[in-house]
Structure 1
């Protein structure tokens, strides 16, 4: 992770000290976040979150640019389970469970952008994330013989998660002359989000839609 971070900042420093034109901007938008794993028993559903931050665009030529960003991103996943269970003595109980894993990151994506036209771009690059917080919300209800028992709460699970997350980002967008811009991006995790996971890796999977504004026009 440290080597990746140093490589990212080395590229940024090289571009910044060259003759590249530099523009600054801000962005915000929605996440459709999920967790992905190849393990058969793993189940998770997407959840909606927010992201916001800023970016620096370093124009290397008319067609190419480098765009490092600093973005707060609410990620994670949720899951729901329900069914029946034999409690013994001829008693059949029903249960329902809901879990919401909330992972908040400070992400540093670095996109290498190609602009086939003045307004349209495609881009891809690495993203390094620092885990700010991790909480698991739970809510379950068990019902048997007309009697229901429920419980809910929230637990801090940051100690169970890795502090750094490496992802690969790919996306496209439109940039208007007014400075307003729109972007669609997919971030796929390359590292396991859990610190001590004995099964298949569980990775972040986030689709982002952003609206931004370029603050300078160099």
Structure 2
């Protein structure tokens, strides 16, 4: 059986698990570190960004530590299964990757700065793995919420590729896709702010040590 076994290939929509119409749990009301609500609607003026960079426990901490971030929550995105469970995502049969949803104040932190955090916190050239974590759910991805985010993310990917190539790394495998086409499903409560609740908990992400330039303009077409 494929269920319960990691697979190096993404399922087709027909192969994916069906999921469920409603989640099997309620999200915690507030962020354990930042104190703000996890679920929207969010206050006017805030913006949303979604990033997949390996195990979401350590990835979420990177973003809640970033000044200007209002709240964070972890979940699943990029696949086909509705309201998936963690075990289902780990089976490789949902098509999802683990992601961090970052709600931020653009007057305090730019999307380009969040991209810098994203690129530098992991190795985006590894395909369906991040360090010792292997599986389709650990792939690198950016899910964008506007045309400006899409252009900025694509430009930063190009800029960081030049840096990585100069450092001896291969091609970036990060997908940059509109979030509207890839619904976000919150993860179970015990995953939310996991490393705040478990200070000695596992963190599997690690960067290349190469700095990503920020403030790059979208390439002219």
Same fold (TM over 0.5): no
Select the structure that is richer in strand: 1
TM-score by length of 1: 0.26
TM-score by length of 2: 0.25
- Higher RCO (CA 8 Å, separation ≥ 6 residues): 2
Select the structure that is richer in helix: 2
Larger radius of gyration: 1
